[in-house]
Amino acid sequence: MFRYPNGKVYKPQEDIEKRRKKSITYSNRGMTLEDDLNETNLYYLENNIAVIHKKPTPVQIVNVHYPKRSAAVIKEAYFKQSSTTDYNGVYRGKYIDFEAKETKNKTSFPLQNFHEHQVSHMENVLAQDGICFVILSAFDEIYLLEAEALLKFWGRMKNGGRKSITMDEINVSAHKMTLGFQPRIDYIKIIDKLYFN
């Protein structure tokens, strides 16, 4: 038996290949929507296009264990308040605020993915003449759905109607985006068409 300097046992290549074939998984092959958006926002920032950041979730830390000064461990924490939307910032002098949502559903986008306080926040942003929207990852596509459209679907649900947005409704109401290299999800291109033309 041979060991590496770190103590691990040397395994012949054929054993590694057998284990690799057994453990191959195709879930999470790509980046998540949030990772793609963070990369996009970094591109916008570095190229002086827009300043958009992910909002941190406000947390109240209650109990911390300090086994030693450099190794603090949070043992108990609570959300201070409900968060609003995922991202906000400024582009060409306009306030931008948006939420990112994903679904694996193949035929519709469930409105239960949104919370009442998020929808209320979007209404408040629109009332202040801000730009507000949702970036949806659904049906193997990426869409930008303006908050005004989401509010119509939300109102329909509140009045006893359908509790989801159908694929056909998204294809009509939302703006389909293609994934790129840099930026990964170029939502500013859609914002330019909608608000600055």
Which parts are annotated binding residues for Mg(2+)? 84, 86, 99, 118
Measured distance CA(152)–CA(162) in Å, rounded: 11
Q: Are 166 and 132 in contact (CB under 8 A)?
A: no
Q: Which two tokens stand for residue 109?
A: 């986008």
Residue-by-residue DSSP string for 158-196: HTT--SEEEHHHHHHHSEEE-B-SSSSB-HHHHHHHHH-
Q: Residues 86-95, buried b or exposed e (16+ Cβ, 10 A)?
A: bbbbebeeee
Residues in the annotated binding site = 84, 86, 99, 118
Phi and psi torsions of 74, nearest 5°: -75, 120
Strand, helix or coil at 106? coil
Phi and psi torsions of 15, nearest 5°: -65, -40
